Amino acid sequence: MKHEGAPEGAAVPTQDKDGRPGPGDQPLDRSDRRRLGGLSGKLLLLTVVFVMLSEVFIYVPSIANYRNTWLMDRLTTAGVAASVLAETSTIAPRLQEQLLNTTGALAISLDQGTRRSLIAMNDVPGEVDFVVDMAKVNPWTSIIGSFQILTYRGDGAMRVVGLGQMGHTERVDVVLPVSLLQQDMLAFSGRILALSLVISIITASLVYITLRALFIRPLRRLTRSMERFAESPEDTSRIIAVSGRKDELGDAEIRLAAMEEALSRALHQKQRLADLGLAVSKINHDLRNLLASAQLFLERLEHVPDPTVSRLAPKILATLDRAVGYTQAVMSYGKAQERPPQRRLLALQRVGDDVADVLGLVDHETVAFENKVMEHIEIDADPEQIFRVLLNLVRNALQALEAEKDETLVRRITMDAVRDGDCVHVMISDTGPGIPENIKKALFKAFHSGSKKGGVGLGLAIVAELLKAHGGAIHLDETKPGACFKLKVPDRPA
């Protein structure tokens, strides 16, 4: 398939199955294809259009003022002749001809109120299409009259009446050909248009160069950085380098860098999950076989007439049964969700004792376990899932306490619970060093472990997911010393 914009015979970049450029290929530079269609071209075009639009608003009053000035010049020239007539009562034919040639008028007369005198006339005027009384001119009528002259088609005349000279009361009446004023107005319009084009080009060029340097180039840098990062999001060296600008584009660079860093970190975490799933799937089958064999051996030991064996064998067998169940759902966290809880009414104190037995806390040499849950407190939960919740929390506390080397430290894990209406609140606390500040914000997210060496960061994430399936929640109580987790487990709706 030929790429749009690629010339005939040009090499088309190959792509792998994920849509990324193939090895050795360079991403297409679309800047050459944009030209006037890109932001730069649109900016240049819009600047020219807006400057020309502003010139139109300037041109309208300018052409009206030009018309009025042009007419007043003719009246002033005719007024000079009127002053001569007032002194001599006559004008020589040669002076009349000069006056008509200078003003371009067809006829000039003087209105003295009671008497009207003809000063000069070149020819008998034809039909008069426009009459302009300069004493009644206002901006609106001037604009309308100007455009009437510009759009006029014909060979008619116009009559202009007004005071010819300052200080004289006589009114001068001049008849002019419309085409004479129209030609001068068109020439003035052409000069305005040429000047507007020059101003537009100069302004647009300066705006274009300035905005291209301030905005277009940084935007292209952002685009190129995103394209480069998209080629290999796992490569942290491709994250955009913040330029340190203090404007909105600088903020965009900072946010883009943060987004790319978060995306790269998320991809690393997903890869870690995939590697973990692959490793677990390889050992899952063999582990189940080994656990099944251990179950068979323990079943035989149950018949040995030894009191210690008779007491410990059932507990070990129950533990192996749970282990077999876990191997069957070992990748449950990697799926969309855990199986729905199969809730039963449980004695919470007994569940806590089972957790302590499995972890060896009953006769632990250095760590004490206190189960303060009252016998009458019952919890409505899935037996296996609530056991996993408590097991994960108590095991985390045990590992934190066992890591302490100072023998004078108190090592104690406490489990307590209270019922409040239709909810049971469970507290698991320890006297350990507590949760590090750097992982508190992502404490219940997968693969954010940082509290113990070798941890993968799934325990608390699994706890939060199982409690959420029960309609409950978990949070860290930061007001207590050590680590104190509070669980809320509501009863099933009636």
Q: Which of 115-129, 430-444, 450-464 has the highest mean pLDDT?
A: 430-444
Q: How far is residue 55's CA from residue 57's CA, in Å, rounded to a whole number?
A: 5
pLDDT, position 1: 40
Distance CA 46, CA 203 (A): 11
Q: In this predicted model, which residue has the larger pLDDT, 410 or 123?
A: 410
138 compared with 280, residue with greater pLDDT: 138
- Say which range, 61-75, 177-191, 220-234, 282-296, has the weakest mean pLDDT: 282-296
Domain map (residue ranges) of the chain: 43-197, 348-490
The single-letter code of the amino acid at 481 is P
Select the more confidently predicted residue: 211 or 183. Answer: 183
Is 110:173 a contact under the CB 8 Å cutoff? yes
Distances (CA, A) of 155 to 158, 174, 352: 10, 17, 112
**What's residue 171's pLDDT?**
81
Reported as a single tens digit per residue, the pLDDT across 270-315 is 777 777 766 666 666 566 656 666 666 666 666 677 777 666 667 6
Q: In what order do the strands lie in the sheet with 484-490?
A: 368-371, 412-420, 423-430, 484-490, 473-476
Residues 430, 446 contacting (CB under 8 angstroms): no
Res 30 pLDDT > 70: no
Mean pLDDT, the chain, as a whole number?
77
Q: Find tokens 């993968």 and name the residue.
A: 456
What residues does 116 pair with on adjacent strands? 111
Pairing between strand 128-133 and 157-163? Answer: parallel
Q: How far apart are CA 394 and CA 383, in angstroms?
A: 16
Q: What is the pLDDT of residues 340-391, one digit of tens each?
A: 889 999 999 999 998 898 888 888 888 999 999 999 999 999 998 999 899 8
In SS3 terms, the chain reads as CCCCCCCCCCCCCCECCCCCECCCCCCCCCHHHHHHHCHHHHHHHHHHHHHHHHHHHHHHHHHHHHHHHHHHHHHHHHHHHHHHHHHHCCCCHHHHHHHHHHHCCCEEEEECCCCEEEEEECCCCCCEEEEEEHHHCCHHHHHHHHHHHHCCCCCCEEEEEEECCCCCCCEEEEEEEHHHHHHHHHHHHHHHHHHHHHHHHHHHHHHHHHHHHHHHHHHHHHHHHHHHHHHCCCCHHHCCCCCCCCCHHHHHHHHHHHHHHHHHHHHHHHHHHHHHHHHHHHHHHHHHHHHHHHHHHHHHHCCCCCHHHHHHHHHHHHHHHHHHHHHHCCCHHHCCCCCCCCCEEEEHHHHHHHHHHHCCCCCCCCCEEEECCCCCCEEEECHHHHHHHHHHHHHHHHHHHHCCCCCCCCCEEEEEEEEECCEEEEEEEECCCCCCHHHCCCCCCCCCCCCCCCCCCCHHHHHHHHHHHCCCEEEECCCCCCCEEEEEEECCCC
Q: What are phi and psi of 174, to 5 degrees?
A: -120, 135
Amino acid 24: pLDDT? 40
Query: Using CA of residue 168, residue 174, residue 178, residue 181, what is the dihedral sign?
Result: negative
Q: In the predicted model, what is the mean pLDDT of residues 95-104?
A: 76
Query: Which architecture characterizes domain 348-490 according to CATH?
Result: 2-Layer Sandwich (3.30)
261 near 237, Cβ under 8 Å? no
Q: Rounded to the nearest 5°, which phi and psi values hold at 368?
A: -100, 145
C-beta separation of 43 from 211 below 8 A: yes
Which tokens belong to 41? 């071209």
Pick 53 or 183 by higher pLDDT. 183
Q: Please give the Cα distance from 275 to 281 (Å, whole number).
A: 10
- Bridge partners of residue 109, in order along the sequence: 118, 173
Greater model confidence, 418 or 26:
418
Residue 28 — pLDDT band, cuts 50, 70, 90? very low
Per residue in 420-450, pLDDT (tens digit) is 999 999 999 999 888 888 788 778 776 555 5
**Could you tell me what percent of the chain has a pLDDT over 90?**
17
Max mean pLDDT range (48-62, 140-154, 301-315): 140-154
